[in-house]
Amino acid sequence: MAGRHRDRSSSGPLGWAAVSTAGVLLVCWGLLQQQGDPPVPDRSLSLSAAQTSAPRSSTADQHSTDAAVRPGTASTGSTPTTSSGVDALPPAVPLSIEIPAIGVSSPLHALGLNADGTLQVPSGDRYDEAAWFDGSPTPGEIGPAVIEGHVTGTGFGPSVFFQLGALEAGDVVEVSRRDGSVATFQVYAMDAFPKNDFPTTIVYGNTRTPELRLITCSGEYDANLDAHVDNVVVFARLVDST
């Protein structure tokens, strides 16, 4: 499935992201010489707006009301098929991600947790690649698969997820998997959350069908903190697999 191509290029600030084990906080660190902010999601695309306008069976019902859970915990529900009739996929390590609408094409590598419980972030030669958190379901399995990427690249330029906030409802995200399949997700909501008030359950809580979470830093750059103040989170659901 192909996505819409739109020109959303811009120059902007620099930063990188990390997630706590409990998923309460995604910490974004900035570099010096900031020159603007990454795109911020349209408020009409917020999760609450999507739930209000979506059919009951497609968005609002996919999120459990369980208490806070460890990031990436899969649902124990018994609904293996999405509202679009696509069956959940068996586990398979993701290899690459494509987001045509914002020109993202990146290999994926697996990252786990640091000794202090924070999520490892892309570094070294793979700094500007997106990464899948291997404590979450593989994309296409039941539950929320988590993929992160830096907003700021090496050399004071945009990194892989700089334009994440410019996505729109209906844009597609394609994840190629080691078993040869491609899991195609469609964006249904996105939001910017203050990093000091990160909604753990909403982002990482159980889902009854395969979903995807894309996470990076965004919002105003605070020079005193050397960080962006917000996290952009994209919510997407599985709509196709080949």
Q: Is residue 205 part of a domain?
A: yes
Residue 235 has pLDDT above 50, yes or no: yes
- Residue 137 inside a domain? The answer is yes
Asked whether residue 132 is assigned to any structural domain, the reply reads: yes
- The Cα 99–Cα 77 span in angstroms is 29
To the nearest whole number, what is the mean pLDDT of the chain? 75
**104 pairs with which residues across the strands?**
99
- The answer to whether position 42 is within a domain reads yes
Residue 136 has pLDDT above 70, yes or no: yes
**Mean pLDDT computed over 205-215:** 95
Question: Is 197 within the bounds of a domain?
Answer: yes
Number of folded domains that form the chain: 1
* Domain of residue 155, residue span: 15-64+71-241
CA atoms within 13 A on the CB side of 157: 6
Q: Is residue 191 part of a domain?
A: yes
Calculate the alpha carbon distances from 179 to 176, 183, 242 in Å: 9, 11, 11
pLDDT tens digits along 6-22: 444 333 333 333 344 33
Whether residue 163 lies inside any domain: the answer is yes
Alpha-carbon gap, residue 91 to 78, rounded angstroms = 17
Classify residue 8: in a domain, yes or no. Answer: no
CATH number at 158 reads 2.40.260.10
